[in-house]
Amino acid sequence: MSSNRATGLTENNRLKKIAVTASVSVSGGLALVKLAASLYTGSLAVLASMVDSLADIVSSLITFIAVRFSSQPASFEHRYGYGKAEALSALVQAAFIAGSGVFVVYEGINRFISPRPIEETGAGIVVMLICTMVTLGLISFQKYVVKKTSSLAVEADSAHYLTDIVTNLSIVVSLGVVRFFGLDWFDAFSALFISGYLLINAYKIAGSAIALLMDRELPDDVRAKIIEAVNNCSFCHGIHDLRTRSLGGVYMFEFHLELDGHLPLYQAHELTDIVEEKVKTIFPGAQVIIHQDPAGLEEKRLDDSLIS
């Protein structure tokens, strides 16, 4: 069982490294293509997308470093491992996304004040559609990796590229409006829309990262599965003081297990191992700490002191 979990973690780390490598490669290629398109067309919206791609490159490089760092085994100084490095990288990504949004807002306001004609809109539309197709392929692979690994860093990276899809399509619409209706100001309006979307997305990514760093409890369905697994063991009399958190894709569970108070210590230990293996079967790779309590023992519990 333990060898299977080790193999699973190794495969997860491999998938995460492939995902971030693909992300860096794609973002670099798209940035170059969009730079050429923005210079050729003079479109602020395309320039905004190019700036976002530059931020993608930096963010993806940060993610690459974070994934390599978080994949290291636990050490004497970091006995819970390095999983939270992914949350730190997500915070940095959020900062870059927000910075991109602010830059585009500034350029958009300037473009409203000093309008510039947009040329070669047809070429710009073709380029943005190609970028959209490539980005969709990357996102599909990232979603697969997130499903397999629960990596917050890859999820944050994928969320950023998801905004690229929206921004690319909005640019296509913007260039179409300029091409067929001659409304050059619509290009700046589209750029401001993109910046607003970037800022909202940065806020969401930062919120998720902070929640992980602050050890926010995992969703209710995760807790419910643990409680159900314990209650389905005939020798268990209950569970209390359950605490859950994520260590960057690796779940950490702590709880008190209520057993027959007359059991010998060795037997209580064996029964606890059974419960631990049940939990790890549901959540492979999880770290589980269980404290045995005699059933019916009156004591001060964490559950009774928590605030909502």
pLDDT in tens, the chain (308 residues): 455 555 556 777 788 888 878 888 888 888 888 888 888 887 777 877 787 777 777 766 776 777 677 777 778 888 777 778 878 888 887 887 788 778 778 777 877 777 677 777 888 888 889 989 999 999 999 889 888 887 766 877 787 677 778 778 878 888 888 888 877 778 778 778 777 877 887 888 889 889 888 989 999 999 999 999 999 999 999 999 999 998 877 899 999 999 999 999 999 999 999 999 999 999 988 899 999 999 988 888 888 888 76
Residues 166, 167, 168, 169, Cα dihedral to 10°:
50
Q: In 192-210, which positions are buried (b, 16+ CB within 10 angstroms) versus exposed (e)?
A: bbbbebbbebbeebbebbe
Q: What is the pLDDT of residues 2-40, one digit of tens each?
A: 555 555 567 777 888 888 788 888 888 888 888 888 888
- What is the Cα 88 distance to its own chain's centre? 11
Identify the sign of the CA torsion 165, 179, 46, 105.
Answer: negative
Quote the tokens at residue 150: 């629960």
Q: How far apart are CA 249 and CA 154, in angstroms?
A: 10
The percent of the chain in helix, strand and coil, each rounded to the nearest 5, is 70, 10, 20
Sorted by where each starts, the structural domains of the chain and their CATH numbers stand as 2-213 (1.20.1510.10), 220-305 (3.30.70.1350)
**DSSP string of 239-298, one letter each residue:** EEEEEEEESSSSEEEEEEEEE-TTS-HHHHHHHHHHHHHHHHHHSTT-EEEEEEEETT--
- Judge whether 135 and 159 are in contact, CB under 8 Å: no
